[in-house]
């Protein structure tokens, strides 16, 4: 758990800082161009990492159904989601865009209940209400 908490805190810091640089970078770049630079850099970094740690074989030996699910996720989060995020952050204040984007657990909660048959609990419902309240408090 401690390691998971550490990673979660690192993600929070990275994702909390990144919108500032996105807003600065998008001041003179169209969102689509920015995404090309961003994703090319990411691809180079991950391909380098997989070569360096000797995991290239895992690319070929991957379960195709799992790969398809990851590609669907990439299309939603990394392609469409990131594009609309860049469009939003270019057009509006980062401090207003990020809370709305950060409410994505609401969507996940409802889809997980319907698609994955996850249970609705009082804690989850309260969490969803707190997310809505938090977005509202941040001035949307």
pTM of the predicted structure, to 2 decimals:
0.86
CA-wise closest residue to 88 among 98, 78, 103:
98
Q: How many CB atoms lie within 10 A of CB 97?
A: 21
pLDDT of residue 119: 97
The pLDDT tens digits of the residues spanning 8-54 come to 889 989 999 999 999 999 999 999 999 999 999 999 999 999 999 99
CA-wise closest residue to 38 among 89, 72, 4:
89
pLDDT of residue 81: 96
pLDDT of residue 140: 65
* More confident call, 92 vs 8: 92
70 and 109 inside one domain: no
Q: Which of 73, 92, 111 is where one domain is finished?
A: 92
Residue 111 lies in a domain: yes
Residues in CB range of 97: below 8 A, 6 or more apart: 19, 85, 88, 89
The pLDDT tens digits of the residues spanning 115-136 come to 999 999 999 999 999 998 988 8
* Exposure b/e, 26-60, CB count within 10 A at least 16 = b: beebebeebbeebeeeeeeeeeeeeeeeeeeeeee
45 and 79 inside one domain: yes
pLDDT of residue 139: 66
107 and 50 inside one domain: no
19 and 74 inside one domain: yes
| Residue numbers of the domain that contains 134 | 102-140
Residue 35 lies in a domain: yes
């Amino acid at each position: 758990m401690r390691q998971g908490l550490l990673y979660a805190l690192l993600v929070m810091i990275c994702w909390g800082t990144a919108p500032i640089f996105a807003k600065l970078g998008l001041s003179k770049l169209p969102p689509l161009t920015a995404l090309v630079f961003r994703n090319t850099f990411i691809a180079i970094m991950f391909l380098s990492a997989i070569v360096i740690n000797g995991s290239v074989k895992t690319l070929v030996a991957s379960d195709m159904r799992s790969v398809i699910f990851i590609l669907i996720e990439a299309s939603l989060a990394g392609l469409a989601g990131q594009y609309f995020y860049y469009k939003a952050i270019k057009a509006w204040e980062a401090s207003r865009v990020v809370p709305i984007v950060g409410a994505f657990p609401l969507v996940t909660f409802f889809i997980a209940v319907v698609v994955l048959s996850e249970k609705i609990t009082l804690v989850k419902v309260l969490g969803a209400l707190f997310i809505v309240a938090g977005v509202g408090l941040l001035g949307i």
